C-alpha cells in the first residue's frame, strides 16, 4: 500500500572522479521511511553544487509526489540562476521521480503515459575517450565503437581550436586538423555508420558554413551547435545554407528556452538534457513542443549512468525520437556504477524494468573508486 504521508528528509551529494576530464555528481534524496531516490547533477569538473541546497529546501519535509509543486516553485529560480542552478534543479526533479516510482512500484515511463519502445537506440560519444586527438586517434576510437556494436558515433574534433584572438594561420591549421579527423573516422568505419559532429560553438556563421561545405564528402548525420543555439536567427541562417542536419540545445533550460529554436525551425534536431533542461517532465514538454514544428528530439547525455537512466525513462515515450547520446569508452567500470548495470548491446539499451529510474547506485564500487 502506498504511503501517501511519505516525506523527503535528507540530501546526499556523491562526487565521483572519473578521469582528469570528467567528474560525476550524483544526488540521493532520503525519506522518513527509508526510501531513497537518485539523480545526477554532473557539470564539468565540479565536485559539488551549492545550488542543490537551495532546491532541496523546496522539497524538505514535503511529499515526493509533489513534483509539479516543486517545478512551479523552483523553475523561475533555476531559469534566473544560470547553468549551475538549472542543473541542481533538474537533479532534484529526477530524484523526486525516482522516489515516486519506487513508492508506487512503477517505472517512471509508466507514470508519464507508458513506453513506445522497450529498447532505446544510443550513439557512442567517443570524445572523452579519445586522448590522442590526431586524426588517427579519432579513427581508432570510431573503429572500437563499431566493434562494440554501435552504428552511430559522435566526436568533437574541433575542441583544439585556439582562441579567437589567435593568428588566422593557427585557427586555419586547427580547422584543417578537425576536418581531417572527421574524414579519418569516415574512412575507418565506412559509409554505413552515422557520424555526428559536435562543434561546441567554436565557429562564427561564415566559418561554420565554410566548414560544413568542406565536410560534405564525409556525409555527416548532423552538424551540432556550430554557434551557440541561443543565437537563433544566425543558427537558422547556417541551417538554411548547409546540406547537413543541424542539431543543438544541450545546455538550454525549459520549454520556453527551446521555443524560439522550434518556432523558427532553426534546427532539425533539438537536444534537451535531463540534467540541465529542467528534468524529466520538462524534457517531455520540450519534446511535445518540438513535435508541433516537426523537429526531432535526441536527448543530450554526455555524463554518468544515473543521467542515462533518467534519459532512458524520458526517451521511452518520445514520439519524435532520434536516438540517445551515451558518453562511451572513457572508463571500463562505468556500467557497473549502477545496479542493475548499464549495458549496451548492438547499439541499444534495454529499458529498465525496475521502479523509478530502474537503477540504484552501486555504493561498494563507488567507495572503491574514491579510494583509488
Q: What are phi and psi of 45, to 5 degrees?
A: -105, 15
Helix (H), strand (E) at residue 327: strand 324-327
Q: Which residue has the cell 558518453?
A: 327
- Nearest-CA neighbor of 315 among 260, 273, 353? 273
Q: Per-domain residue ranges for the chain?
A: 8-105, 111-362
| Rounded Cα–Cα distance for residues 211 and 241 (Å) | 12
Q: pLDDT digit string (tens) for 320-334? A: 999 999 999 999 999
pLDDT band, residue 361 (cuts 50/70/90)? very high
Cell numbers found for residue 71: 517545478
Residue range 8-105 forms a domain whose CATH class is: alpha beta
- CB-CB neighbours of 175 under 10 Å: 20
Residue 240 binned pLDDT confidence (cut-offs 50, 70, 90) = very high
Inter-residue contact 39 to 95 (CB < 8 Å): yes
Phi first, then psi: give them for residue 172, nearest 5 degrees: -65, -40
Whole-number Å distance between alpha carbons of 13 and 229: 31
The per-residue pLDDT for 4 is 72
Indicate if 300 belongs to the active site. yes
Mean pLDDT score, 253-276: 97
d(CA 295, CA 288): 10
Residue 207, beta-bridge partner list: none
Does the bond joining 234 to the residue before it have cis omega, within 30 degrees of 0?
no
Answer yes or no: 276 catalytic: no
Query: Span 154-180, mean pLDDT?
Result: 95
Q: What is the percent of the chain where pLDDT is above 70?
A: 99
Q: What is the pLDDT of residue 1?
A: 54
What is the tens place of the pLDDT at every residue in 59-93? 999 999 999 999 999 999 999 999 999 999 999 99
Radius of gyration of the chain (CA): 20
CATH superfamily of 111-362: Enolase-like C-terminal domain (3.20.20.120)
**Torsional sign, CA 79, 85, 86, 88:** negative
Give the C-alpha separation, 109 to 351, whole Å. Answer: 9
Average pLDDT over residues 175-201: 98
Which residue in 109, 202, 276, 300 is the catalytic one?
300
Respond yes or no on whether the N-terminal peptide bond of residue 340 is cis (omega within 30° of 0). yes
Question: How many other CB atoms are found less than 10 A from the CB of residue 336?
Answer: 18
Residue whose cell numbers read 572508463? 331
Measured from the Cβ of residue 292, the count of other Cβ atoms closer than 10 Å reads 10
Q: How confident is the model at residue 2 (pLDDT cuts 50, 70, 90)?
A: low
The yes-or-no answer to whether 8-105 and 111-362 have a common fold is: no
Q: What is the pLDDT of residue 20?
A: 87
Q: Mean per-residue pLDDT for 33-58?
A: 95
Q: Is 39 helix (H, G, I), strand (E, B) or coil?
A: strand
Amino acid at each position: 500500500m502506498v504511503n501517501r504521508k511519505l516525506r523527503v528528509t535528507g540530501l546526499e551529494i556523491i562526487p565521483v572522479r572519473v578521469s582528469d576530464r570528467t567528474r560525476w555528481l550524483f544526488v540521493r534524496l532520503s525519506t522518513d521511511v527509508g526510501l531513497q531516490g537518485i539523480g545526477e547533477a554532473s557539470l564539468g569538473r565540479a565536485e559539488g553544487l551549492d545550488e542543490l541546497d537551495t532546491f532541496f529546501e523546496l522539497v524538505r519535509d514535503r511529499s515526493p509526489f509533489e513534483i509539479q509543486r516543486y517545478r512551479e516553485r523552483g523553475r523561475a529560480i533555476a531559469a534566473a540562476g544560470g547553468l549551475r542552478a538549472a542543473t541542481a534543479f533538474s537533479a532534484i526533479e529526477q530524484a523526486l521521480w525516482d522516489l515516486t516510482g519506487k513508492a508506487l512500484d512503477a517505472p517512471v515511463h509508466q507514470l508519464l503515459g507508458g513506453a513506445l519502445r522497450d529498447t532505446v537506440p544510443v550513439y557512442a560519444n567517443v570524445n572523452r575517450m579519445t586522448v590522442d586527438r590526431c586524426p588517427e586517434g579519432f579513427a581508432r576510437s570510431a573503429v572500437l565503437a563499431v566493434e562494440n556494436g554501435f552504428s552511430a558515433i559522435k566526436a568533437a574534433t574541433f575542441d583544439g581550436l585556439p582562441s579567437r584572438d589567435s593568428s588566422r594561420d593557427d585557427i586555419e591549421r586547427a580547422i584543417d586538423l578537425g576536418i581531417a579527423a572527421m574524414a579519418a573516422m569516415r574512412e575507418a568505419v565506412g559509409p554505413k555508420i552515422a557520424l555526428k559532429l559536435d562543434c561546441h560553438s567554436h565557429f562564427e556563421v561564415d566559418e561554420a558554413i565554410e566548414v560544413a561545405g568542406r565536410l560534405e564528402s564525409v556525409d555527416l548525420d548532423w552538424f551540432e551547435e556550430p554557434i551557440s543555439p541561443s543565437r537563433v536567427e544566425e543558427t537558422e541562417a547556417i541551417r538554411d545554407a548547409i546540406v547537413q542536419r543541424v542539431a543543438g540545445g544541450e545546455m538550454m533550460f525549459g520549454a520556453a528556452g527551446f521555443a524560439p529554436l522550434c518556432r523558427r525551425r532553426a534546427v532539425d534536431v533539438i537536444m534537451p538534457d535531463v540534467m540541465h533542461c529542467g528534468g524529466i517532465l520538462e524534457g517531455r514538454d520540450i519534446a511535445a513542443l518540438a513535435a508541433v514544428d516537426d523537429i526531432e528530439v535526441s536527448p543530450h547525455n554526455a555524463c554518468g549512468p544515473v543521467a542515462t537512466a533518467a534519459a532512458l525513462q524520458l526517451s521511452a515515450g518520445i514520439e519524435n525520437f532520434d536516438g540517445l547520446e551515451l558518453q562511451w569508452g572513457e572508463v571500463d567500470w562505468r556500467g557497473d556504477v549502477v545496479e542493475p548495470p548499464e549495458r549496451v548491446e548492438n547499439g541499444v539499451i534495454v529499458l529498465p524494468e525496475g521502479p523509478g529510474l530502474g537503477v540504484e547506485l552501486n555504493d561498494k564500487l563507488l567507495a572503491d573508486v574514491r579510494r583509488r
